[in-house]
A and B are shown apart, each in its own frame.
Chain A
Amino acid sequence: MISLAQRKQHAWPDGARCVVGLTLDFDGTSLERGRGQLPLGARSHGRYSAKCGIPRFVDMFTRQNVPWTFYVSGYDAEESPDLVRDISRSGIEIGSHGYFHEGVDPGGAEPELLERTHRLLKEITGTAPRGWRSPSGHKTARTLRKLRELGYVYDSSDKDFDLPYLARYDGEERSDYVCLPNNTSSLDDFPFYRVSYTPPSEVLTHWEQEFDAIYAEGGYYNLTFHPRVGYGSGSPARVAAVEGLINYAKRHEGVRFVGMLELAEWCLKRPSDWRRDWSGQ
């Protein structure tokens, strides 16, 4: 049973003290298209992802020589198949991220949308995605049922824990599916660049403080970035803030950068290590 009080009971790959998962959600024009908007003029932020933000992130991650994970919506993959294929061929995991980056729970239409995106990403990259991140954070037991049917082994969408844990839905804990939590209030660029409009230098300090607290516990640090302008980190100053954070983490002993599927597979090798106490929840 994993517990935050008994930290000795969770172990990371290579005996690392702390794992860092850097994730990039494509967030191209799928958002606007999904809302029936034209991605033009002041609604063109999503076009920045493929043109400027993603290349800048790829250059930076390559320079830093760290793994990262790329979550892509079906629509964005159809728009930029070569970009997605090239990134996949470079060894980066492509996870799925909705079709139109659905902003609200698509209800009964969800299974078909999950399947469509799954098929598209498989066709483009030659590999079936095994990880998912919810677009906008909506996820229900219905989502989990479908993802598991499609062969997914993890998703990175929940905000209710600080460590990986075995999924539980329909009253049952699963030993073949792990939740790798993220946090879109504190470990994401959106809240600071769109909600509080905080300068990148202060955002970097904030993420460093998050890292300090998680590193002190020997924990799991999952950061979510977007290559868009506007709410994302695609612009030069903001990619520089992400790079500053990577440099900061690298200065600490025992930090291991991980791809999310790599981490999920590590956890699922010994699922009983990642059971969580559900009492009162």
Chain B
Amino acid sequence: MSKPTVPVIVTVNLQGKTVELTQLGEDALFGRASYGKYAYAVGCERLFGLLDRHGIRSTVFVPGAEAEANPGYVTALAGRGHEIAAHGWAMEEMDAVGVDERVLLERTHAALSRIVGRAPRGFRAPHGRLTERTLGHLADLGYHYDSSFQDDDHPYRLDADGGRDMVEVPHAEILIDATLYGQRQTHDRVMKMWREEIEAMHRERCLITLTLHPRSDYGSGRASRVAALDGLFTWMRKLEGISFFTCEEVADQWHP
């Protein structure tokens, strides 16, 4: 390669009703507590349909409980070339009192391995919350990378943080749809923000990690938002040297 590529990763946090179930029972998942149900009813197919049309293989971070509830869908995503990685059990805060993170990490690992037929190699913490032991547990379980941190323009080694032989594939707060849609920004403002950020990251050849959710509140699952993303991907694909990868591919390139 004469010119270095600019790696782009599209990640999807597959957050459905497990988000609401941390607070409420199944009988109360109506009204404002029903946004999570949108994910599997509508949002996922809109979002992954778009990614497939653009030939983009994403990395999908899936809570174990979501995979248990929708095993066929998660398996099908893997079959379509998307990477399935771990996203905790059910949107727990791993640093909260009384949470046994080791048990939950193992349970998620077993569920995803069984459902997908392959052990997940990457992890993203629900809510981005870790303890100082999390990376060590992940290393024990054989994980190769984490993608919870937001502290670098490029991948880096996690040995110093307790992730033996692991790589961090960082993402960025401003390139998470929830950051902006969660603040109820319009589509145009989100796209303007992202184009300005991505244009400058591309100029400096940073790792560009985009994080999306298939929901209709803080996510990108609505038809209008998928249409906005369609325009964004079309524009990005014209940027010189841009190449789409999964997190796993970037981690492997960085540290085989």
Contacts and interface: CB of A to CB of B under 8 A. Distances in A.
A162 interface: yes
Contact of A160 (B38, B70, B218, B227): B38
A136 B32 contact: yes
A192 B184 contact: yes
A162 B41 CA distance: 9
Contacts of B35: 159-160, 185
Contact of A206 (B40, B186, B216): B186
Contacts of B19: none
A206 B188 contact: yes
B233 interface: no
Nearest to A204: B186
Contacts of A217: 223
Q: Summarize B's interface: helix, strand, loop or mixed.
A: helix
- How many interface residues does chain B have, given as a range? 35 or more
Contacts of B222: 162, 183, 186, 210, 213
B248 to A, nearest CB: 25
Contacts of A195: 183-184
A78 interface: no
Contacts of B72: 280
A254 B70 CA distance: 37
B31 A159 contact: yes
Contacts of B28: 105, 140-141
B184 A144 contact: no
B217 A196 contact: no
Nearest to B32: A137
Interface of A: 4-5, 105, 134, 136-144, 157-162, 169, 183-186, 191-192, 195-196, 198, 202-203, 205-206, 209-210, 212-214, 216-217, 219, 276-277, 280-281
Interface of B: 16-17, 27-28, 30-38, 40-42, 45-46, 69-70, 72-73, 181, 183-189, 216-218, 222-228
22 contacts: A4-B42, A136-B32, A139-B33, A140-B27, A140-B28, A141-B28, A141-B30, A142-B27, A158-B30, A158-B34, A159-B38, A185-B218, A192-B186, A195-B184, A196-B186, A198-B186, A206-B186, A213-B223, A217-B223, A276-B41, A280-B69, A280-B70
Given A157-B30, A159-B31, A159-B217, 8 more contacts: A138-B32, A141-B27, A141-B28, A169-B30, A185-B184, A205-B188, A213-B224, A281-B41
